[in-house]
């Protein structure tokens, strides 16, 4: 059964067809929502809200081939709506890589994740969303712009500024700090 037929069946109220459509993307969308919202409970709510909106408006979907992009857009917008409704709550989120590297030095992996998580945490949600969509979900910039409903040039400049801010954050975390020693000198 192809995607077009699944979308048409789901649009007519077939719960099983809808489950097949969203089943392949729920894990990645939940991961993206967790990175954007920084709270696993809020992320689950946003994903559920996005899926509910998709279920309700599925009969109006004009192009079944764009279902995945449309669903992604609904979930990202639900993340932003959730932030507006509930405000920001700081909660630690574990970053899980798409493809785990095979390395023996687990301490350096943990340190890298910690640096990346800290830099990502310092971004505003809109900037964090662009980084997550482009690097975590692997979307090309035109798709990121379409998902967020912004012009491509705006997406490019926001991604550039977000990466610059993350680099500055990481650089400042790694910069050595002067430690006072006896005699009023600094080491």
Q: Where along the chain do its domains lie?
A: 1-92, 94-175
Looking at the domain 94-175, which fold is it? Answer: Arc Repressor Mutant, subunit A (1.10.10)
CATH number for the segment(s) 1-92: 1.10.1740.10
User: pTM, whole model, 2 decimals?
Assistant: 0.66
Rounded-to-integer distance, Cα 139 and Cα 114, Å: 24
Q: Which two tokens stand for residue 69?
A: 């992009």
Measured distance CA(173)–CA(177) in Å, rounded: 10
103 Ramachandran zone, left/alpha/beta (phi>0; psi -120 to 50): beta
Q: pLDDT (tens digit, 0 to 9) for every residue of the chain, 187 residues total?
A: 788 888 888 888 889 988 998 888 899 999 999 989 888 889 999 999 999 999 999 888 878 888 889 999 999 999 999 888 875 554 444 555 555 555 555 666 677 778 888 888 899 989 999 999 998 888 999 999 999 999 999 999 999 999 999 999 888 877 776 666 666 665 5
């Amino acid at each position: 059964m192809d995607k077009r037929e699944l979308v048409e069946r789901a649009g007519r109220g077939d719960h099983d067809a809808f489950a097949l459509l969203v089943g392949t993307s729920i894990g990645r969308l939940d991961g993206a929502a967790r990175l954007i919202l920084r709270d696993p409970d809020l992320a689950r709510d946003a994903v559920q809200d996005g899926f509910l909106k998709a279920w309700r408006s599925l009969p109006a979907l004009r192009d079944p081939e764009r279902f995945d992009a449309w669903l992604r857009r609904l979930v990202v917008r639900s993340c932003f709506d959730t932030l507006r409704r509930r405000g920001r709550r700081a909660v630690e989120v574990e970053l899980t890589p798409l493809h785990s590297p095979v390395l023996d030095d687990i301490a350096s992996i943990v340190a890298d994740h910690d640096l990346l998580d800290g830099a990502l945490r310092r971004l505003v949600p809109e900037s964090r969303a662009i980084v997550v969509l482009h690097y975590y979900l692997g979307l090309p910039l035109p798709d990121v712009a379409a998902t967020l409903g912004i012009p491509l040039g705006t997406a490019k400049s926001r991604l550039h500024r977000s990466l610059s801010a993350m680099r500055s954050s990481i650089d400042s975390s790694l910069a050595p700090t002067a430690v006072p020693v006896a005699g009023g000198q600094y080491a």
